[in-house]
Amino acid sequence: MARLVVLGGGVAGHTTATFAAKWLGAGHEVVVVTPNAKWNWIPSNIWVGVGEMSKEEVTFDLAPVYNKAGITYKQAKAVSINPEGSADNASPFVTFEYTGQDKAGELENMDFDYLVNATGPKLNFAATPGLGDANGMGEHTVSVCTADHATHAFHEFEKSIEKMKAGERQKFLIGTGHGMCTCQGAAFEYIFNIEHELNKAGVRDMADIKWISNEAFLGDFGMGGLHMKVGGYVVSSKIFAESLYAERGVDWMIGAHVSKVEKGSIDYELLDGSTGKESFDFAMLIPPFAGVGLKAYNKAGEDVTDTVFAPNGFMKVDANYAAGAYENWKASDWPRTYQNPTYKNMFAAGIAFAPPHLISKPMSSPNGTPINPTPPRTGMPAGIIGKAVAYSVCDLITKGENAHLHEASMAEMGAACVASAGKGVFTGTAAAMTVFPVVPDYEKYPGTGRDTEYTFGEIGLAGHWIKHILHHMFIYKAKLKPGWTLIPE
Amino acid sequence: MKNEEHNFSRNDQSNLTMIPGAFARALRTNVIWQFIRFMVINIKMLVVVSKSH
């Protein structure tokens, strides 16, 4: 009997664990170690942040689902990995600290045969002074990264609406809170949902709304932008993004690194090296991501964290980390199997794997401050990678250590993304987009890096319907209800 | 003033973009047209999803 331990219960970890448990059956053990008691469909946090959904509608308890699936559930956060075991224990093991199950604070070691690191990101609020405390509940700004953050954001948003109704003009500043952020899409959704809700509340004319982001151009989204076929033209996402911002009366500041947040204002540095302050009454700034800070030790107890993890805390996998300058980047730099190169019984999935480099062109200010989006690894790619890793681990367990590993390169897979721009059955809109592949391949597609037959985008009510359907479909799937395996990642 | 005229005049950023007119905006929430787009987008997305697995 083999044991697979999955660290993390987000999109990637949940997908890996549930498919592995189904394919392995009762003959082997699947364990999930996650600090959260609830699963969260994060894309819908946007609607929690404007009061269109409740926290309960975007979360559910993990324990009964894992109980049904035969998965051992540990509500705990992983602390360290001993991939070679230790002086006292010949087996590889992981150490975790309980956060619930009436054992909060207790440490426990668990042996594993295979380990999948799907811990997701640490929301690194501390990277920008004043951005937020350890829980993200900043004194000056809000976030929509978790359901609790989004609920807090809604309450602050309500206060702003009340002030506007009382005749007090409000300035909304929404975007990224550091020069190395990813997840511009979430901020994009939030700013247009805010704008939509202000219209509904009848106070739009009392609001100034501004976007601030580390993208070199609007519509970069951490993917270097995308080109779409529209009306017989192939056009950049920059054109469409700028069009939407102008149409909805939203100003923008791009190429911006937020260096400090204070009550009512931020300090920023731009790509041209200039600096300044921007005031706000309400600010939602996405924090940068980092690895969760897992440590690794060898059999002798020596720290081998640098061997297992990249400097940013994400786990090294089968990527080419020596690609060097932007001119040398290739699609083949991106990992295919997500296996750790040193310890073959360990994998990483979703945000937890260390990307070989950015997708967007690297940029920095004349002062040397890097200001560029880091690569997105969420949503559909995280699910597909999680499933491929589950396949690989199951084959290694059932067919032996020479089994063929399954592949899911982000340079060969596409992604469908639906970005809400306002909620409403007949008044809502969303930008429905697909890209193929996620990581541009300029050898295969020399012009845009992507197949323009399968890369498209448009905004409208249809996109909103799709986003709403996806909300229910993916929560249904995550609850492992009948037919869940038929719903694609 | 038409809505797009107002937005073009807001500042230089907006002035250099394309802004949809009334007809294009109306199509975005026209239920019949959007139902057709719903079918088309779903098919396109399913193709991309199938190519990605």
Half-sphere exposure of A405 (CA within 13 A, CB side): 19
Residues of A whose CB is below 8 A from B51: 413-414, 436, 454
**Closest-CA residue in chain B for A381?**
B52
> Chain A: nearest CA to B11, how far in angstroms?
9
Q: Which fold has domain A3-122+289-399?
A: FAD/NAD(P)-binding domain (3.50.50)
A133 CA to centre of own chain: 20
Q: Which residue has the tokens 């640490």?
A: A122
Q: What is the pLDDT along chain A (489 residues), one digit of tens a residue?
A: 999 999 999 999 999 999 999 999 999 999 999 999 999 999 999 999 999 999 999 999 999 999 999 999 999 999 999 999 999 999 999 999 999 999 999 999 999 999 999 999 999 999 999 997 666 667 799 999 999 999 999 999 999 999 999 999 999 999 999 999 998 999 999 999 999 999 999 999 999 999 999 999 999 999 999 999 887 889 999 999 999 999 999 999 999 999 999 999 999 999 999 999 999 999 999 999 999 999 999 999 999 999 999 999 999 999 999 999 999 999 999 999 999 999 999 999 999 999 999 999 999 999 999 999 999 988 899 999 999 999 999 999 999 989 999 999 999 999 999 999 999 999 999 999 999 999 999 999 999 999 999 999 999 999 999 999 999 999 999 999 999 999 998
- How confident is the model at residue B7, as a pLDDT? 86
Q: Are strands A256-262 and A265-270 parallel, antiparallel or unpaired?
A: antiparallel
- How confident is the model at residue B11, as a pLDDT? 87
Please judge whether B18 and A380 are an interchain contact, meaning their C-beta atoms are less than 8 angstroms apart: no
Cβ A222 vs Cβ A438: under 8 Å:
no
Which conformational region is residue A450 in: left (phi greater than 0), alpha (psi within -120 to 50 degrees), or beta? beta
**Closest-CA residue in chain B for A461?**
B29
> Chain A: nearest CA to B52, how far in angstroms?
4
CB pairs under 8 A between A and B: 95
Question: Which ipTM did the prediction report?
Answer: 0.95
**Distance from C-alpha of A149 to C-alpha of A250, rounded to nearest angstrom:** 24
Q: What are the residue ranges spanned by the domains of chain A? A: 3-122+289-399
Q: What is the DSSP letter of A359?
A: S
**Closest-CA residue in chain A for B37?**
A462
- Alpha-carbon dihedral B27, B40, A385, A422, rounded to 10 degrees: 20
Phi, psi dihedral angles at A326 (to 5 degrees): -50, -40
Instruction: Indicate if the alpha-carbon torsion angle B12, B17, B23, B24 is positive or negative.
Output: negative
B32 touches chain A (CB under 8 A): no
| Amino acid letter for position A76 | A
Q: What is the DSSP letter of B29?
A: T
Please judge whether B34 and A380 are an interchain contact, meaning their C-beta atoms are less than 8 angstroms apart: no
- pLDDT of residue B28 exceeding 90: yes
Most distant CA pair in chain A, distance: 70
Please judge whether B52 and A413 are an interchain contact, meaning their C-beta atoms are less than 8 angstroms apart: yes
- How confident is the model at residue A135, as a pLDDT? 64
- pLDDT of residue B21 exceeding 90: yes
Residues of A whose CB is below 8 A from B19: 243, 246-247
Please judge whether A462 and B18 are an interchain contact, meaning their C-beta atoms are less than 8 angstroms apart: no
User: Which whole-number Å values give the CA distances from B27 to A233, A276, A416, B5, in the listed order?
Assistant: 20, 41, 22, 19
pLDDT in tens, A354-412: 999 999 999 999 999 999 999 998 889 999 999 999 999 999 999 998 999 999 999 99
> Chain B: nearest CA to A127, how far in angstroms?
30
- Residue in A223, A483, A170 with CA at minimum distance from that of residue A355: A223
- The token pair that represents A451 in the structure block: 């197949």
**Distance from C-alpha of A402 to C-alpha of A395, rounded to nearest angstrom:** 9
**Distance from C-alpha of A392 to C-alpha of A20, rounded to nearest angstrom:** 9
